[in-house]
Amino acid sequence: MSTAPDPFAPAQLGPITLRNRIVKAATFEGATRDHVVSDRLIEFHRRVAAGGVGMTTVAYCAVSPDGCGTPNEIILADAAIPGLQRLADVVHAEGTAVAAQIGHAGAVAAATGHRGLSPSPVFSPLAMKRTRAVTDDDIARITRDFADAGRVVADGGFDAVEIHLGHGYLPSEFLSPKLNRRTDQWGGSLANRARFPRQIVTAVRDAVGGRLAVTAKLNMADGVPGGLWIDESIEVARMLEADGCLDAIELTGGSSLQNPMYLFRGEAPIHEMADTMPGVIGLGFRLFGKRFLPEYPFEEAYFLPYARQFREAVDIPLILLGGINRLDTIQRAMEEGFEFVAMGRALLREPDLVDKLQTRTSAEGLCIHCNKCMPTIYSGTRCVLVE
C-alpha cells in the first residue's frame, strides 16, 4: 500500500496549514486598475477558492513601479493593503489560503515604459532600446522593496508570499550566465550570481518572520543556450535550502523574455497575441512570431523529469508545476516525494477542478493547452473555451 500523503488532506506549509496539497499557480489576472486590488480580481480568486484548491496565488505583484512587467499590476505599497485585506477575507471565507507572488520584472519592465533594468545591458525588443545595468544602490533599494512588499502582503492578511526567481525577471536574470556578464560580486561564479536572489529571499523572511509562509518560484532551466540549466539551478536550490529562509520551492522553467513557450509547452497563440499589438508590430509578429516563440510539444507533467533531480538533491518541500491536469499525476507527484502540486491552466479552464478530482466526478481536466488564454492577460484573463 502507498505511504504517499493524500493530496486532499490538510498539509503544513511552514507556519500555515493548507486544506489540501493543491495550489493555484499564478496566472496574471489582468483584472487590476490603478495598481490596487479590484472587485474583479477578488471574484477571480473567490471562484478558484470555492472550487476547492488549498491555496490560490495572486499573480505577479510588483515590488516597485519600475518592477512592473505589464501595465496595471498591483504595486505592493501601503495603498494596496485595504484591497489585499478584502481579497484575503473573501478567499478565507471559502476555506482557502492565499499567497501573493512578488517580483521585479527587470528587463521585462521595458514593456511598461520604464527603463528596463538588468544585470548587464541588453537590447530590449519590447522597448527597442538597451536596458540599464543595475548599480549597487539599485540592488540595495530593490532588496528593501522586496522586504517592504513582504510586509505589505502580511499586513494585507495573506498567508504566504511567493518570491519570483524565475521566468527571466530580474532575480532570474542575475542567475543566468548568459544575461549576467558582471565582473563584480554580483556576477561571474554561481555563488556571485546567486548572491542578489539569496539576499532578496533573506530580506523578505526577515521582514515577515513567521507571519507568512515564504516560497520561491525558481527556474530549473531557462530553456535558452547558455542560460541557467539544471546543473547550476540544483546548486541554487541547495543554497536556498541552506539559507533556511524558505518554506518551499516551486519548480518552473523558461523565460518571458527569451523563450516563453518553454514555460507552457503546446501551441504558440501567434495570431491571438498579434491581435493585442499595435499596427505594424502586430503585423510583424503575425509574420515572424514563430521565430520568437519556438514551440515544444505538450506533455502531462512536462517538468517532472527535471524536478525529480531536485527531489533527489534537496530536502526542502517542493511544489511540482507544469502541465498537471490529472488525478493520477497528482497522486504520482505525492508518491515521488513532492509535498505540493501547482496548477495554472487546468484551473483557468475549470476553477472547480479540485472538487471534481476529490469527489471523483472527474479524473482529468478539460484544458487542451491551446494557450489562447495567454493574450487574454491584457483584457481579463480567462479560458477562451469558457463563456
- Which stretches of the chain bind ligand SF4, using CB under 6 A? 345, 348-349, 367-373, 383-385
Task: Answer whether 221's CB lies under 8 Å from 228's CB.
Answer: yes
Task: Answer whether 143's CB lies under 8 Å from 203's CB.
Answer: yes
Task: Answer whether 152's CB lies under 8 Å from 77's CB.
Answer: yes
Q: How far is the CB of 324 from ligand SF4 (least distance, A)?
A: 13
CB crowding 166-185: b at 16 or more within 10 Å, else e: bbbbbbbbbbbbbbbebeee
Task: Answer whether 150's CB lies under 8 Å from 182's CB.
Answer: no
| 56 binding ligand FMN? (CB under 6 A) | no
Report helix, strand or coil for 247: coil
Reply yes or no on whether 169 is catalytic. yes
Q: How far is the CB of 58 from ligand FMN (least distance, A)?
A: 9
* DSSP H stretches of helix in the chain: 39-50, 81-93, 136-155, 170-175, 190-193, 195-208, 230-243, 261-264, 270-274, 279-292, 304-313, 327-335, 345-349, 353-358
Q: Please tell me the distance from the alpha carbon of residue 138 to that of residue 198, in angstroms, as a whole number.
A: 16
| 374 binding ligand FMN? (CB under 6 A) | yes
Nine-digit cell string for 329: 499525476
Shortest CA distance to 12 belongs to which of 97, 93, 87, 85?
97
- Report the site for ligand FMN in 98-117 (rule: CB under 6 A): 101
90 or 367: CB nearest ligand SF4:
367
221 or 263: CB nearest ligand FMN:
263
Q: How far is the CB of 372 from ligand SF4 (least distance, A)?
A: 4
Find the binder of ligand FMN among 22, 25, 194, 221 (CB under 6 A). 25
* Part of the chain binding ligand FMN (CB under 6 A), chosen from 5-13, 174-182, 280-288, 338-346: 338-346
Q: How far is the CB of 250 from ligand FMN (least distance, A)?
A: 8
| 266 binding ligand FMN? (CB under 6 A) | no
Q: How far is the CB of 315 from ligand SF4 (least distance, A)?
A: 34
What Å distances lie between residue 82 and 92, 300, 335, CA to CA? 15, 39, 41
| 161 binding ligand FMN? (CB under 6 A) | no
Catalytic residue chosen out of the listed positions 60, 169, 262, 302: 169
131 or 325: CB nearest ligand SF4:
325
195 or 356: CB nearest ligand SF4:
356
Task: Answer whether 143's CB lies under 8 Å from 239's CB.
Answer: no
Place of cell 534537496: 314
Binder of residue 31, out of ligand FMN, ligand SF4, none (CB less than 5 to 8 A by kind): none
Active site residues: 169
Residues that bind ligand FMN (CB under 6 A): 25-28, 59-60, 101, 164, 167, 217, 252, 263-264, 321-324, 343-346, 373-374, 377, 381
